C-alpha cells in the first residue's frame, strides 16, 4: 500500500517518539495540511503521555512504602551491625558484631534486664547465693530449653566450660574463666582432669561455681557470651567437642537458648533471627524478628538510614555528627560506653621492640586535638588504659600527655634523631571511614612531630583479625569495651598468653600482680594491685591509648526500649516497634 506523508508522520512518531522530531520537521514541508495537523496532535498527545508517565513514576517512588515502614508493620527490627561476623560460635568470637548477635541467640546464668541492660537479672538461673563471693550456687529454671525444645540443664554448662577451656580449642576468651578454680591450669594443660576445675552440677537444676578468690563482680561477668552455654547434643553431632568451624553454627543446625533463633544468613546481606518459642520468657518478647545488616561503610549506613532502609545504625560518619546533633536530635544518640579506642603495637618487630620508641609514639599524639578537630563526638582523652567507671573506687594511674619535645628526645635516644632512619610502617585498620580518618590524623601527627613515615593499611574484618592474631602487623587499630564492671576486664587482656593480647608483650611482674588480685579478698588491696599493674603497663606501653568511647548512633523514633549500655549489652526482648 502506498503511504502519504501524513501516514509516514504517524508511523515515525509511534515507532521513534521524540527522536523523530528532525525527520518530522523535514516531512512537514510536504504540503499535506490534514496530515500536518494530525501529526501535531499525535505528537502533543505523546509528549503529554510521557510527562504524565514520568510524573507518575516519581510520585510512586515518593509515596512507595519504605523498607522500614513495611518492617515496622511486621515487627521486624532492621539493625546496622558493622562488619560480617567472623564466626557464629560464641566460644571462638571476640568482636562486637558477634556480641550483638549473641545477645539475641544465647543467654547465660545471669541476663540483662528490661529496665537496665547493665543490671544483673535472672537468666537461665532464677536466683543465686554466695556466702563469701568464692563459692556461688546457681538455681536453674526447670523450664529452660534449647531452641529445638531440648531441656537445658546444669550439665550443659559443665560441657560449655570444659569446651572453652580445652587447650585444643584455643578459645581467645578462655581467660575470661580464669577466676574459676583451676580453670587456668586446665586451659594451659597442667591440670588434665576437668573434675578438678571449680564447676560442679549436684543435679540438673543446680550449678556450683568455685573461684580461686573472692569476686563480687561475678554476676556481671556471667552475662558475657564466653560463659554462655553451647549445645553439646548439636556440637557433637558434627564432630568432636574441640573441632572448629563445623556445620553446627549454620542455619538449620545452630541451636541457642536466647529470645531469638537463627532463621537465615545471607552472607554480606543480612542475618535474620526470629522469635524462639522455647525461650523461658517468650511472652515478654515483642519483636517478631531482627535483621542484622553488615554495613562496613559508615557513610553507606547513614544513607541507608536516611533512605528508610534500616531502623538503627551502628555508628555515625564523623562528617554528619554536627548535622544530626543540631538538626535532627530526635534520631541522634550519644551514649556513654565503658571502652577505650587504642592502637596495639607489635613489640616483636623492630624498631617497636624499644620501649622508648613506643613511648615517643604515644607522646607525639595530641589526643585533645584529635577529639576536638576530628572526632567531635564527646569522647574523652585516654590518659591511661582503663576508663573511669570500670569499678567502684578504681582510678586509672595513667597520666599520659601530649609532649612532642620529649617524644623527639626519646626517638633520638633510640637512634632515630629527627626520624632519620626510621623504617616506613603501616597502621592496620579494619574497613570503616572513621578508622581511616583517625589513622590519617595520627599519621600526620607522627610526620609533623617525629618526621617518621606511617601509612594506613585497610583490611576486611576477618583478615584484619587474623593478621592481628598472627602478629602480622606493626601498629594496629583496636578497641576494647568492658565485658563486666570491674577494671580486671581491661587489664587482664595484657597477661601473657591471653587471646586478646596480640602484641607479643608480656611481663612476669604484671602477670604476678594480676593473679594476686584474683586471690585478694580485701577490696582496697585488690584495687591497689590492679593499679600497680596498670602503672607497669603504662611504663612499657605495648599499646597507644587514644580516647575513651562514646557510642554515637542513629535510631528511628518508632524504636522503643533499645536502651544504652556501658558494656554494649542489648536486651532485645525489651525492644518494640511503634508505627
Is there a single domain that holds both residue 410 and residue 528? yes
Is there a single domain that holds both residue 459 and residue 539? yes
Q: Which of 40, 63, 86 is the last residue of a domain?
A: 63
Distance CA 443, CA 459 (A): 17
Helix (H, G, I), strand (E, B) or coil at 151: strand
308 assigned to some structural domain: yes
How many residues comprise the chain? 579
Is there a single domain that holds both residue 53 and residue 127? no
Is there a single domain that holds both residue 236 and residue 281? yes
Asked if residue 241 lies in contact with residue 166, where contact means CB atoms within 8 angstroms, the answer is: yes
Pairing of strands 559-560, 576-577: antiparallel
Distance CA 385, CA 538 (A): 8
DSSP code of 475?
A: E
The neighbour count for residue 360, using CB atoms within 10 Å, is: 29
466 assigned to some structural domain: yes
For the domain that residue 209 is a member of, what is the CATH number?
3.40.190.10
321 assigned to some structural domain: no
Is there a single domain that holds both residue 59 and residue 195? no
Written in H, E and C, the secondary structure of 498-552 is CCCCCCCCCCHHHHHHHHHHHHCCCHHHHHHHHHHHHHHHHHHCCEEEEEEEEEE
Tell me the torsion sign for CA atoms 530, 533, 537, 543. negative
Is there a single domain that holds both residue 398 and residue 528? yes
358 assigned to some structural domain: yes
Is there a single domain that holds both residue 83 and residue 181? yes
Kindly provide the residue ranges of all beta strands, DSSP E only, lying in 295-438, ordered along the sequence. 332-345, 380-381, 425-430
Helix (H, G, I), strand (E, B) or coil at 400: coil
320 assigned to some structural domain: no
158 assigned to some structural domain: yes
Distance CA 517, CA 495 (A): 13
User: From the first residue on, what is the mean pLDDT of each consecutive set of 10 residues in the chain (579 residues)?
Assistant: 34 34 40 54 59 50 75 97 95 94 98 94 98 97 98 98 97 96 97 98 98 95 97 97 96 98 96 98 98 95 97 96 96 95 98 98 98 94 94 90 97 98 97 94 98 96 94 97 94 94 98 94 94 98 97 97 94 95
| Residue range(s) defining the domain that contains residue 39 | 5-63
Distance CA 42, CA 47 (A): 9
What angle (nearest 5°) sits at the alpha carbon of residue 123, between those of residues 172 and 176? 20
Distance CA 172, CA 98 (A): 14
Is there a single domain that holds both residue 542 and residue 571? no
Alpha helices in 397-507, H assignment, sequence order: 404-413, 433-450, 461-469, 488-491
Asked if residue 175 lies in contact with residue 184, where contact means CB atoms within 8 angstroms, the answer is: yes
Pairing of strands 425-430, 454-459: parallel
Report, in angstroms and rounded to the nearest whole number, the Rg of the chain calculated over CA atoms: 30
In angstroms, how far is CA 288 from the centroid of its own chain? Answer: 23
Distance CA 383, CA 274 (A): 43
Task: Say how many domains are in the chain.
Answer: 3
Cell 587514644 appears where? Answer: 546
DSSP code of 34?
A: H
Asked if residue 530 lies in contact with residue 519, where contact means CB atoms within 8 angstroms, the answer is: no
Q: Prior bond to 351 cis, omega within 30?
A: yes
Distance CA 528, CA 530 (A): 5
Is there a single domain that holds both residue 394 and residue 475? yes
412 assigned to some structural domain: yes
DSSP code of 229?
A: -
Asked if residue 311 lies in contact with residue 319, where contact means CB atoms within 8 angstroms, the answer is: no
Q: Residue 13 belongs to what H/E stretch?
A: helix 5-16
Is there a single domain that holds both residue 525 and residue 500? yes
Kindly provide the residue ranges of all beta strands, DSSP E only, lying in 109-205, ordered along the sequence. 110-111, 121-122, 125-129, 135-140, 199-203
Is there a single domain that holds both residue 547 and residue 559? no
DSSP code of 201?
A: E
458: phi > 0 → left, psi -120 to 50 → alpha, else beta; which?
Answer: beta
Is there a single domain that holds both residue 293 and residue 371? no
205 assigned to some structural domain: yes
Amino acid at each position: 500500500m502506498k503511504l502519504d506523508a501524513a501516514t509516514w508522520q504517524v508511523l515515525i512518531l509511534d515507532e521513534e517518539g521524540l527522536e523523530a522530531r528532525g525527520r518530522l520537521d523535514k516531512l512537514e514541508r510536504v504540503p499535506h495540511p490534514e496530515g500536518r495537523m494530525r501529526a501535531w496532535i499525535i505528537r502533543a498527545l505523546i509528549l503529554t503521555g510521557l510527562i504524565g508517565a514520568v510524573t507518575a513514576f516519581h510520585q510512586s517512588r515518593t509515596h512507595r512504602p519504605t523498607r522500614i515502614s513495611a518492617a515496622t508493620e511486621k515487627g521486624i527490627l532492621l539493625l546496622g551491625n558493622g562488619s560480617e561476623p567472623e564466626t557464629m560460635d560464641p566460644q571462638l568470637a571476640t568482636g562486637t558484631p558477634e556480641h550483638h548477635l549473641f545477645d539475641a541467640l544465647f543467654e547465660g546464668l545471669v541476663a540483662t534486664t528490661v529496665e537496665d541492660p547493665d543490671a544483673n537479672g535472672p537468666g537461665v538461673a532464677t536466683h543465686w547465693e554466695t556466702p563469701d563471693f568464692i563459692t556461688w550456687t546457681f538455681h536453674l529454671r526447670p523450664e529452660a530449653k534449647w531452641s529445638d525444645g531440648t531441656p537445658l540443664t546444669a550439665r550443659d554448662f559443665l560441657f560449655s566450660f570444659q569446651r572453652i577451656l580445652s587447650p585444643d580449642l584455643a578459645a581467645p576468651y578462655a581467660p575470661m574463666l580464669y577466676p574459676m578454680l583451676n580453670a587456668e591450669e586446665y586451659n594451659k594443660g597442667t591440670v588434665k582432669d576437668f573434675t578438678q576445675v571449680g564447676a560442679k552440677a549436684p543435679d540438673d537444676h543446680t550449678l556450683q561455681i568455685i573461684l580461686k578468690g573472692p569476686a563480687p563482680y561475678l554476676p556481671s561477668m556471667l552475662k558475657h557470651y564466653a560463659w554462655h552455654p553451647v549445645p553439646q547434643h548439636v556440637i557433637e553431632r558434627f564432630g568432636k567437642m574441640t573441632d572448629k568451624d563445623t556445620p553446627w553454627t549454620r542455619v538449620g543446625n545452630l541451636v541457642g537458648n536466647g529470645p531469638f533463633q537463627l532463621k537465615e544468613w545471607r552472607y554480606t546481606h543480612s542475618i535474620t533471627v526470629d522469635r524462639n518459642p522455647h525461650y523461658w520468657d517468650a511472652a515478654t518478647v515483642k519483636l517478631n524478628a531482627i535483621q542484622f545488616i553488615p554495613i562496613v561503610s559508615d557513610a553507606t549506613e547513614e544513607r541507608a538510614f536516611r533512605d528508610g532502609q534500616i531502623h538503627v545504625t551502628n555508628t555515625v560518619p564523623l562528617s554528619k555528627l554536627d548535622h544530626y546533633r543540631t538538626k535532627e536530635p530526635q534520631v541522634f544518640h550519644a551514649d556513654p560506653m565503658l571502652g577505650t579506642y587504642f592502637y596495639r603495637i607489635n613489640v616483636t618487630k623492630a624498631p617497636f621492640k624499644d620501649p622508648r620508641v613506643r613511648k615517643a609514639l604515644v607522646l607525639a599524639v595530641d589526643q585533645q586535638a584529635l577529639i576536638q578537630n576530628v572526632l567531635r563526638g564527646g569522647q574523652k582523652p585516654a590518659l591511661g588504659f582503663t576508663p573511669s567507671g570500670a569499678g567502684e573506687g578504681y582510678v586509672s594511674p595513667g597520666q599520659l600527655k601530649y609532649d612532642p619535645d620529649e617524644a623527639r628526645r626519646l626517638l633520638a635516644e633510640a637512634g632515630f634523631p629527627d626520624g632519620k632512619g626510621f623504617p616506613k610502617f603501616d597502621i592496620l585498620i579494619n574497613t570503616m571511614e572513621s578508622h581511616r580518618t583517625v589513622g590519617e590524623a595520627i599519621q600526620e601527627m607522627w610526620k609533623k612531630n617525629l618526621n617518621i613515615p606511617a601509612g594506613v593499611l585497610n583490611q576486611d574484618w576477618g583478615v584484619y583479625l587474623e593478621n592481628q592474631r598472627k602478629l602480622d602487623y606493626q601498629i594496629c587499630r583496636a578497641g576494647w569495651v568492658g565485658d563486666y564492671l570491674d577494671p580486671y576486664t581491661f587489664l587482664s587482656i595484657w597477661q601473657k598468653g591471653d587471646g586478646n593480647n596480640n602484641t607479643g608483650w608480656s611481663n612476669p611482674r604484671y602477670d604476678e600482680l594480676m593473679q594476686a588480685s584474683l586471690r585478694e579478698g580485701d577490696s582496697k588491696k585488690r584495687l591497689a594491685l590492679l593499679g600497680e599493674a596498670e602503672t607497669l603497663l603504662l611504663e612499657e606501653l605495648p599499646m597507644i591509648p587514644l580516647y575513651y568511647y562514646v557510642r554515637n548512633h542513629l535510631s528511628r523514633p518508632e524504636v522503643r526500649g533499645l536502651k544504652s549500655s556501658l558494656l554494649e549489652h542489648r536486651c532485645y526482648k525489651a525492644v518494640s516497634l511503634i508505627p
